[in-house]
Amino acid sequence: MLVQGTEPSHPYSFLPEGYDVSDAWCVDKFRLAPRSQVADFVHESWQERGGQVDKVLDLCCGSGLLLRELLQRGYDVTGLDRSSAQLQQAELKIRSQERARLVKAELPAIPLDDEFDAVVSTGALVHLPNDTTLLRTFESVHRVLRPGGTFTFDMYTERHAESLVAHTTPTARVIESGPFTLLMSITRTAIKGTYNWHGLMFLRDDTTQTYVRRSETHQLYAWAQEQIVGLGARAGFGDIEVFDNFTRQPTGSQTVCETYVMVKP
Ligand SMILES: C[S@@+](CC[C@H](N)C(=O)[O-])C[C@H]1O[C@@H](n2cnc3c(N)ncnc32)[C@H](O)[C@@H]1O
């Protein structure tokens, strides 16, 4: 079979539907919270705090997995992401619904004049490369939130990153779904807490007996909880709480994913 393709491609270009396939595998394998659980968590937390929540911004919405859940729960949603390929997949899920809007932008900029009742982000802020970018992102979120609005997001722990490394090196994991195959590995870099995600993807076309190939590398950063809390406070947030993986449990030694909830006073 002929293999075609350019490499490397832009981060999160992915082959069509490749992101959702690899995401489902990771959720299952590494006990990450399914997006329905994330949506239930934020929905309940917004209801408990009181104050009407209608307008929600999903920061780095990716292929729209969480947007779809939020729409189902009746929210007006805006999804922001820098990847055109991911936004195209998101568009397929939201199908031009009136209550949904997609914006192409790159953090730390949030080029919107809206005021949101809540901002949420999953699996994405781990990609921000340094504390300046993270602080600027928090400040942008603070600017677009109404007073009393909440910012909920997750960060992977170093424990989780190390478990990804252990599962995918020295032999890459193979994830297959129909015509799509992904070889995935996560490696440590020389800088503590910094990791590279490598993906080599193939999409089979049975009619032409060919494969299209893509490869991508993303950086992941495991932050200490004190750093995130400190940056959130510097950006003007208060009432900062940290939970275990979109549950009401406190974080502990087994936590793979920390869920932060910050409030704009
Ligand atoms: C792992 S995906 C998560 C997507 C989605 N939130 C989800 O839960 O499925 C990370 C997303 O963050 C986006 N992203 C990473 N860095 C970004 C930045 N600086 N600005 C905007 N989007 C970014 C990527 O394009 C990608 O869609």
Question: What's the CATH code of the domain at 60?
Answer: 3.40.50.150
Q: State the pTM of this model.
A: 0.93
132 vs 164, more confident: 132
Helix or strand or coil: residue 135? helix
Question: What span, in angstroms and rounded, lies between the C-alpha atoms of 139 and 142?
Answer: 5
Ligand 1 pocket, residue 182 CB under 6 Å: no
pLDDT in tens, 156-180: 999 889 988 998 888 888 998 888 8
For atom 25 of ligand 1, the residue with the nearest CA is 83
pLDDT in tens, 37-59: 999 999 999 999 878 999 999 99
**What is the phi/psi pair of residue 253, to 5°?**
-65, -20
Ligand 1 pocket, residue 188 CB under 6 Å: no
Overall domain count for the chain: 2
Question: What span, in angstroms and rounded, lies between the C-alpha atoms of 89 and 102?
Answer: 11
For residue 205, what are the domain limits? 2-16+159-221
Query: Residue 233 above 70 pLDDT?
Result: yes
For 197-221, what is the mean pLDDT? 90
Atom of ligand 1 nearest to the CA of 65: 9
Are 199 and 231 found together in one domain?
Answer: no
Are 8 and 109 found together in one domain?
Answer: no
Ligand 1 pocket, residue 87 CB under 6 Å: no
Ligand 1 pocket, residue 62 CB under 6 Å: yes
Are 175 and 115 found together in one domain?
Answer: no
Q: Which pairs from 45-52 meet CB under 8 Å and 24+ separation? A: 45/150, 45/152, 45/261, 46/117, 46/118, 46/150, 49/148, 49/150, 49/263, 51/117, 51/148, 52/117
71 located within any domain: yes
- Please, which pLDDT band fits residue 226 given cuts at 50, 70 and 90? very high
Are 10 and 80 found together in one domain?
Answer: no
145 located within any domain: yes
83 located within any domain: yes
User: Which residue out of 9, 10, 12 has the highest number of ligand 1 atoms within 8 Å of its CB and is therefore the one to mutate?
Assistant: 12
**What percent of the chain lies above the pLDDT cut of 70?**
95
| Dist. CA 198 → ligand 1 center (Å) | 16
Query: Residue 98 above 50 pLDDT?
Result: yes
| Dist. CA 179 → ligand 1 center (Å) | 24
| Dist. CA 209 → ligand 1 center (Å) | 33
Ligand 1 pocket, residue 106 CB under 6 Å: yes
Token pair for residue 145? 């939130």
Helix or strand or coil: residue 111? coil
Are 151 and 163 found together in one domain?
Answer: no
pLDDT of residue 214: 86
Are 102 and 228 found together in one domain?
Answer: yes
24 located within any domain: no
